[in-house]
Amino acid sequence: MVWEVRYRSSVERDVDRLPVGVRSRVLRALGELATTPFPEGSRKLKGSENRFRLRVAGSYRIVYRIFEAERLIKVEFVGHRKDAYRWF
């Protein structure tokens, strides 16, 4: 079953700033979230009941929230892991 995937406005800019090799892997992972909201390698973030992170290309992370009742995934952050948890 397909989930709706929405992005924060900053995610598009974040993806554009990624190195080319990383960008393609991130875009592929984002596309797969619509069919697999809990892909292999995703982990729940402590302190939040519906926020997860997905490790992509070694040091890069996708942070997203899942709203199961609405079948909605909201991508909140894409970038290097050193910055990934600063706001969450």
Domain-wise residue ranges, the chain: 4-84
pLDDT value at residue 18: 95
Categorize the per-residue pLDDT at 1 as very low, low, confident or very high, splitting at 50, 70 and 90: confident
d(CA 70, CA 53): 20
d(CA 21, CA 26): 9
Q: Convert the pLDDT of each residue in 41-68 to its tens digit.
A: 899 999 888 999 999 988 999 999 999 9
Res. 83: pLDDT tops 80: yes
Categorize the per-residue pLDDT at 25 as very low, low, confident or very high, splitting at 50, 70 and 90: very high
85 closest CA partner among 40, 42, 52, 56: 52
CB distance 65 to 51 below 8 Å: yes
- Residue 25 gets the label, from left (phi > 0), alpha (psi -120 to 50) or beta, of alpha
Fold of 4-84: YaeB-like fold (3.30.2310)
Categorize the per-residue pLDDT at 87 as very low, low, confident or very high, splitting at 50, 70 and 90: confident
